[in-house]
Amino acid sequence: MQKGDQKKLNLLLTGIRARLEQNKDYFVTVKCTFQAGKKKFPANISLSDGSYILKFQGVSNNVSPNEIVDFFAKQAEQYEQSELVYEERGTVITITCNSKGVNMKQSEPKTTPNVTNPLLSNDREYCIRVDKASELLKEIGILTAEGKIKNDMIRKYNQIDHYVELVAPMFQKDNSEEILLLDCACGKSYLSFVMNYYLREVLHRRCRVIGIDINEHVISESKKMAKRLGYHNMEFIQADLNTYNPPKNVTAVISLHACDIATDLA
């Protein structure tokens, strides 16, 4: 690698290190590929219990953001071609190093083809699009495994999407450093998950979402879903709204048809 290319790579990796440090809540994965001739040597970085794990050539190690970018820079000097693909929610950054130089491109994650449903409204633009948010919508039970909206969930899908549509202008104007939502009587957390998706992956805003419910089962299930989705910026707490003491810096309190007196408590 030429000296100028090495400087460019180091500069680009500085941006990746900053994202690893600042955007851990939204991290998805880092995949590296090093190539010599026809042989390729993959490396993967994942996030587990708040720590980055590097897997390379059969060995796994806990690593810091500094160690991740230093690892790639060192390996890139030794191979004919190297590629780093960094993915966080809503953003994919690809850095390539070869004989032609060092380049970077930024894109959105690949989406699944949209599966039309004749019972949906065709005259409105959905905020939470099926083709963009399929992973989320499958996890919360709106979509089938094949990507089609379940007939018995069409009303729910329209309901939560319309809610997002109604509150979107407020968040589009918000200029705070981070948005904090408090979902009172969150239940199955449909609203928590779609608002989290909309704020981070549509508006590209820093956000945190706290879901509160007195029911231990729904809180446990919401935690599992957040973990499967990699939504590290979400927190679910079992608590009685009568006694729960919320954070002082809440941007907005939300609630979706809370039952009995929960609406008043929210």
Q: C-alpha 1: how far from its chain's center?
A: 34
In 37-154, DSSP assigns E strands to: 39-48, 51-56, 59-63, 81-88, 91-98, 101-107
Do the Cβ atoms of 71 and 54 come closer than 8 Å? yes
pLDDT at 245: 93
Contact assessment for residue 41 and residue 57, using Cβ atoms and an 8 Å cutoff: yes
Instruction: Please compute, for residue 49, the number of CA atoms within 13 A of its CA located in the half-sphere on the CB side.
Output: 1
Would you give per-residue pLDDT tens digits along the chain (266 residues)? 666 788 999 999 999 999 999 999 999 999 999 999 999 999 999 999 889 999 999 999 999 999 999 999 999 999 999 999 999 998 999 999 998 999 999 988 876 665 555 556 566 788 998 888 999 999 999 999 888 889 899 988 998 999 999 999 999 999 999 999 999 999 999 999 999 999 999 999 999 999 999 999 999 999 999 999 999 999 999 999 989 999 989 999 998 765 667 777 77
Q: Which two tokens stand for residue 204?
A: 């590209």
For residue 47, the cross-strand partners are 52
In this prediction, residue 191 carries a pLDDT of 92
Neighbouring residues of 218: CB distance < 8 A, sequence distance ≥ 6: 186, 187, 188, 189
CA distance 92 to 49: 22
Report how far residue 160's alpha carbon sits from residue 168's, in angstroms, rounded to the nearest whole number: 12
- Mapped onto helix, strand or coil, the DSSP state of residue 8 is helix
What integer pLDDT is reported at residue 114 of this predicted model? 56
Cβ proximity of 230 and 197 under 8 Å: no
The closest of 240, 215, 235 to 225, measured between CA atoms, is 235
Residue 231: strand, helix, or coil: coil
CA distance 24 to 233: 9
Backbone angles phi, psi at 201, to 5 degrees: -100, -15
Q: Give residues with Cβ within 8 angstroms of 30, minimum separation 6.
A: 16, 20, 44, 45, 68, 84, 85, 86, 87
- Structural domains in the chain, sorted by start: 3-107 (no CATH), 134-265 (3.40.50.150)
Q: Which residues of 187-196 are buried (b: 16+ CB within 10 A; e: fewer)?
A: bbbbbbbbbb
